[in-house]
Structure 1
């Protein structure tokens, strides 16, 4: 293509075309090559040069808004909204206004529309081509309305038509063995098998092979068949009324089983949903189960009924059935085992030879050895084993009918009866703690606690079985008191012996004073030590000269008791804290005796003073050898003074002064040698210290150098960080300023747009006013012109009517001179009127006028002559 812009000359090569617009006629013409065209002054190049459209064999293209009956440089018919199909033929240009569907913008290369040239649809076997009617038409004897969709099944090659639009190619669905295709009608239609379907209806296609859904069919899902085995069944439920595979009518909500005996594989039809896969229930030997709500022969659940099934057997649980407690083992009882049963309803018990009748609530027990499966009318209360009891072992048993509690002791093997249960004996927490400690609790420094370690039972350390009889090994030379709350009596056990508590008995817990000096309730004990034993305590006494002394005393004591005499046995427990009571009484006697003598006398005769104060004198004035407390028969046999020391510090210093003088003499020589050795060591240490100071200063200088280095690094980091922060701040500042400028520019643009719109609106109103004014003015001019024409016509008609027919005829027959005179008489000058090319003489006009008048005069109608 050659183009000369200066001369508007365009060279078109072969298979190219251009569109040229004529500005005078507003008609676009088509020019094809090869040629050279010159663009006139009233013409403009509308587009091009463009390459011809080349449709290869086996392809087509769609031309939109086609032109029909094209005539060069003439107005032609263009069918807007229509399409034209172009198949393989000679290359062709596009007429003005035509365009190819799906083509890119026109260009100078062939690639602009090659994508719009498509191959003819080739439909393979089992595939389909979906078409949609663009307008009403009849094809192949079938009427298609606009918008109708239909499908052509392959194999075929489709030649497109303007009446139908290609939607796409449908792929077939391959139905394999054991699968089915679930379809849904999107509108009323007739399926492949000729059955009418309504909108929304679903059905299954089970035939194996390729299936091509119709245009009114939608594939919902591909259903997979359930493979049924002897151990698997399907629990199905109907969602709508239907007839199942066994020709049984099902109503919505009905549930049933599909097993291997009925079908090998099962695809749920429409209206059936598979709830779950049921496994076969297998009952082995010596097992059973109870089925709730079993199904009868009619397939209905017997609500509230219970059915016993025993092994060896197997079955499927039908819908609505369930196992009460799963698969249970039969009760296999040995010789020392039994089970307690209770009847829930009246029935005849056939498990025994006499077959008794059991009423609701009856309880009985079956002893082994045997195997027992309870019927549905029987509830298992519990399974029991014989309790082996050794010597000194026992259990607490309560009769549920009478409520009585008793203790059963060994050695024996004990089996509870049907109405007997083991009873738990609860003890106070302090008693539980004391039993685990051997019978006593307190601080670890109390001497008497070691005496109870021999009574610790290793079995009770792991936790006491509350149903077992409570036992306590009473240590030797001790006594334990047990109180019976039911009979309100007490008994005393002397050790070494075993204390066995009855169901209504409990220990009498002793709360004793302990420690040095004695503290109340410091020792909790089950056993009372009969002695001989000793009590150690600290006493503060004051002499007559007010010397306060701290005395450590130890009293030997024992209890005098007659075993077998209840009064004597109970008397030793009459004082709960015998240690605290004895210490208080003895301390009172000693303080009273010491207060009557001076310190020197007490210091020389302390033993005699304290023994006389404790034991006193008999009737003969001789000192006694023991002291007996009548309240609890406690006997103090001797008193041992372990230490005496002043309580006052000054007195203690004076007593120690002599001892200190001796110590000072002994230590003077040691002090001198120690001083010399200390000085020598001090010099050595001083030298070592100086050396260490120098080493420390050296290390300090090294660390100071590191510190200065780190400070320099820190300063560099700080300055870098400050610079970075300033850079970030400047960047943020610049960003904010730019954003502000952008917002300001946007606001200015909006303001300018508002002003422009306002100006456009005002100009539009001004132009509208001017147009209205011009229109009114033109209407006035037209009205004026029409009025003047009417006046002239009426004037001419009056002149013609005034002259008359004969006069006009004579004038018509006269010569040119007469015509000139005629024109002059009419007030018309002999002036030449020209259009710039050909002059026209008014004489000819007059002749024509006169000739016209002559012809008009020959007619009958003379009402209007023009």
Structure 2
């Protein structure tokens, strides 16, 4: 019975179901509910839902037109939003959205998660909403899926028709910043501007900005600060009007500088291609701008524009510097010039007279001057005068005629407009010979040392091919030079300097050298005229078949008539005159020796060889010289240096016989030398004895002189010692006296200094005491004066405080009152005097009172 009675406290409710009608009814307390037999407690008792201020809750499937105990309609699928008000129960079928559980008792139910605070939108913030169904929002028709937002500050009350998408925070746009937005779909923004899907635009207004619902923030762009030296190269991706109000076509490029704006934020549809630095052309500089822009901003393709310093500019789009650099002007000295070439027809005004130049013309301008070439002029070359000393020169080629010539010093030669330096090529063998002074051999050849005097140190580092080739021809030699252009040859005799013309070259001699002679062992530029000698080793065979090696040397010279071209050229008719002479002389010697036996040749070899070489004249006498008419070479003498058998046995037997002859001659020489040595020894002994006697006599005389000098030295020594001791004693006494005097002077000086210091110290002490006493007196005087002023001020303050009426009343009250008055004033009834006239304070009081009355 007790279980069918339910006591409901206030603000509680239960749901009871009637099984007969299948209707669930709501009972709200305070009340006592008695369950009938056909009723059952379905839910409860449950507390009513209390929505605090600034909170809300959502009821799902709300009840409409509830009648107690009757069937009612539930709006299934709908929601109802409840705000702060009286506590309310849940009707049967209603669901509190967000509640964690819904049991049969209060302990099973938790409403805290279902009751939510109202969304508060701060200033510069917004709440974004989305329509769940079509509805009328205060005169605005909302369609399902529409999105909008409400800007703060406000407190939003949710509705069942809209869902909260989220809170939108503002985007802060700083100074020199802009916000790039993109439209997600077509809409009209809050400023009334229509946007299409995918459109992008910039918001430049500084501060907090709330983007529209369908505006997507892409990026926050910072401004690029422009200076005097920095500009921006821009390109339009689409046709637009830029931030400075100029219409730009798609693909157009332009430059924006500080004259246009101080800072630039990249516009929509504009690409910043590069940051351009200002091009500064200083004094003495220039540059050529290719494809410059005209006043309409169009590039003049193929045109060149000259800009001279001092100037500065930005390269506009499409413009570029020729060679990519700023060029220095040509500053020429007195010995410098420029070779110029006209690229187009123009009028040259550099000179005093105007000259019309045609394309391809070439000319020169000379310094001193500063020159900047015009657009129509190309600088072909910069030239400097070539200083040429005596015997120095250069090869010059004329490009118009092709003629090559040599220019010799002393002078400073400046090449003409159509002239260039020409390289003279020489063969490798000639180059090698010039480095070695004109001669080069493969072996240790005697004649190589003769060419060392002609070595030019500058040739060791490498020859300048534009310089005239010179060769210092040694003395008593001849050099043949061949001109290939004129097909003539000339001969130069040393000592002289050989200067090669542009079409000339040396006649290189390939000579035999070595012992025995080997062909082509010595290369030479010059021919030695002699007198000289040639050494060779010949192998001969006697009539008795004795083979001998003969080393001969013969003197030679060339018989030439200087000034006669035919005679001069004849000495070079035989290229290898050494090999030719050795072969001719060798053949003559071999022919003569072949007719003579060895014994005869061994005894008369010199006469036989000389006869073989020079031959006999018509008178039957041996000739003195041998002349080679082919090259005018003359052999004057033949000398045999050695003869050695080629056969080893014969060489040994000849060596033994020679050795025996040498031994016999040696013994004879030894015996005669021994006899001469004995005779010389006896003579030397006699001279030695006489010298000894003479030396002893002179020694005795010198010894006597020595004893005499010793006696004199002893006397001087004794006298000098006594004198020195007396002088030392006197100086000692003098020094001691002077020392005592100096000590006394120093003591007196020290006492005087000490006395002065004491006086000074006492003076400073007395001065300090006087200063201190003076300061003390001044302080005491100041203190007394200040105390007096304080008393006067105190008395004046008391009098002014008491007032005139009070003082009058006191004055009328008699002497007793006067005494009290004085006590009140803090004064005693005594006489105050300055030492001369006493003052009665009672009279003073009366005077004060009288004065007050008056």
**Where does residue 438 of structure 1 map in the other structure?**
437
- Partners of 2:348 and 2:482 lie apart in 1 by 48
| CA RMSD between the two structures | 4.5
CA change 1:639–1:199 in 2 (3 A) is: farther
- Partners of 1:550 and 1:461 lie apart in 2 by 42
Deviations 1:86-108 (A, max 9, x none): 99999x9xx9xx999999xxxxx
**Where does residue 579 of structure 2 map in the other structure?**
580
TM-score between the two structures when normalised by the length of structure 2:
0.60
CA change 1:199–1:633 in 2 (3 A) is: same
- Partners of 1:519 and 1:256 lie apart in 2 by 85
**CA deviation after TM superposition for structure 1 residue 574, in Å:** 0.6
Residue range with higher mean Cα deviation, 324-333 or 79-88: 79-88
Deviations 1:122-155 (A, max 9, x none): 7665556666677777777777767666656566
**CA deviation after TM superposition for structure 1 residue 572, in Å:** 0.6
CA change 1:556–1:187 in 2 (3 A) is: farther
CA change 1:542–1:163 in 2 (3 A) is: farther
> Does structure 1 conserve the Cα–Cα contact (< 8 Å) formed by 2:57 and 2:97?
no
- Partners of 1:577 and 1:115 lie apart in 2 by 128
2:227 maps to which of 226, 229, 240? 229
Residue 456 (structure 2) pairs with residue 453 (structure 1): no
**Where does residue 214 of structure 2 map in the other structure?**
216
**Where does residue 300 of structure 1 map in the other structure?**
298
CA change 1:444–1:282 in 2 (3 A) is: farther
> Does structure 1 conserve the Cα–Cα contact (< 8 Å) formed by 2:174 and 2:207?
yes
Residue 158 (structure 2) pairs with residue 180 (structure 1): no
**Where does residue 278 of structure 1 map in the other structure?**
276
- Partners of 1:402 and 1:226 lie apart in 2 by 63
Alignment of 1:676-687 (within 5 A): none
**Where does residue 494 of structure 1 map in the other structure?**
493
- Partners of 1:117 and 1:596 lie apart in 2 by 155
Residue range with higher mean Cα deviation, 633-642 or 452-461: 633-642
**Where does residue 519 of structure 1 map in the other structure?**
518
Deviations 1:367-407 (A, max 9, x none): 23333333222222222222222111122222233222222
**Where does residue 590 of structure 1 map in the other structure?**
589
CA change 1:123–1:532 in 2 (3 A) is: farther
- Partners of 1:390 and 1:422 lie apart in 2 by 17
> Does structure 2 conserve the Cα–Cα contact (< 8 Å) formed by 1:283 and 1:310?
yes
Alignment of 1:390-539 (within 5 A): 390-443=389-442, 445-539=444-538
1:244 maps to which of 242, 245, 249? 242
> Does structure 1 conserve the Cα–Cα contact (< 8 Å) formed by 2:62 and 2:79?
no
Find the residue that maps to 1:593 and give its secondary structure. helix
CA change 1:624–1:237 in 2 (3 A) is: same
Residue range with higher mean Cα deviation, 347-356 or 470-479: 347-356
CA change 1:511–1:158 in 2 (3 A) is: farther
**CA deviation after TM superposition for structure 1 residue 179, in Å:** 2.0
Residue 353 (structure 2) pairs with residue 342 (structure 1): no
> Does structure 2 conserve the Cα–Cα contact (< 8 Å) formed by 1:191 and 1:197?
yes
**CA deviation after TM superposition for structure 1 residue 57, in Å:** 13
> Does structure 2 conserve the Cα–Cα contact (< 8 Å) formed by 1:510 and 1:576?
yes
Alignment of 1:309-324 (within 5 A): 309-324=307-322
CA change 1:536–1:171 in 2 (3 A) is: farther
**Where does residue 567 of structure 2 map in the other structure?**
568
Alignment of 1:812-851 (within 5 A): none
Deviations 1:810-862 (A, max 9, x none): xxxxxxxxxxxxxxxxxxxxxxxxxxxxxxxxxxxxxxxxxxxxxxxxxxxxx
> Does structure 2 conserve the Cα–Cα contact (< 8 Å) formed by 1:62 and 1:101?
no
Find the residue that maps to 1:296 and give its secondary structure. coil
**Where does residue 610 of structure 2 map in the other structure?**
611
CA change 1:278–1:616 in 2 (3 A) is: same
**Where does residue 633 of structure 2 map in the other structure?**
634
CA change 1:648–1:120 in 2 (3 A) is: farther
- Partners of 1:580 and 1:60 lie apart in 2 by 134
Deviations 1:458-478 (A, max 9, x none): 222222222221111111111
- Partners of 2:492 and 2:52 lie apart in 1 by 126
> Does structure 2 conserve the Cα–Cα contact (< 8 Å) formed by 1:183 and 1:204?
yes
Residue 285 (structure 2) pairs with residue 287 (structure 1): yes
**CA deviation after TM superposition for structure 1 residue 654, in Å:** 5.2
**Where does residue 780 of structure 2 map in the other structure?**
none
- Partners of 2:448 and 2:562 lie apart in 1 by 25
- Partners of 2:226 and 2:478 lie apart in 1 by 81
**Where does residue 361 of structure 1 map in the other structure?**
360
CA change 1:168–1:432 in 2 (3 A) is: farther
- Partners of 2:602 and 2:100 lie apart in 1 by 134
Residue range with higher mean Cα deviation, 560-569 or 303-312: 303-312
Aligned length: 590
- Partners of 1:622 and 1:172 lie apart in 2 by 138
CA change 1:61–1:393 in 2 (3 A) is: farther
Find the residue that maps to 2:280 and give its secondary structure. strand
Deviations 1:565-610 (A, max 9, x none): 1111101111111112222222222233333334444444433333
CA change 1:241–1:517 in 2 (3 A) is: same
- Partners of 2:581 and 2:57 lie apart in 1 by 130
CA change 1:247–1:162 in 2 (3 A) is: closer
- Partners of 2:367 and 2:564 lie apart in 1 by 50
CA change 1:61–1:497 in 2 (3 A) is: farther
- Partners of 1:416 and 1:226 lie apart in 2 by 56
TM-score between the two structures when normalised by the length of structure 1:
0.60
Deviations 1:519-540 (A, max 9, x none): 2222221111111222223333
Alignment of 1:644-723 (within 5 A): 644-652=643-651
> Does structure 1 conserve the Cα–Cα contact (< 8 Å) formed by 2:129 and 2:163?
yes
**Where does residue 39 of structure 1 map in the other structure?**
none
> Does structure 2 conserve the Cα–Cα contact (< 8 Å) formed by 1:344 and 1:379?
yes
**CA deviation after TM superposition for structure 1 residue 657, in Å:** 6.9
Unaligned runs of 5+ in 2: 1-50, 65-73, 102-107, 662-854
**Where does residue 350 of structure 2 map in the other structure?**
351
**Where does residue 198 of structure 1 map in the other structure?**
196
CA change 1:216–1:613 in 2 (3 A) is: farther
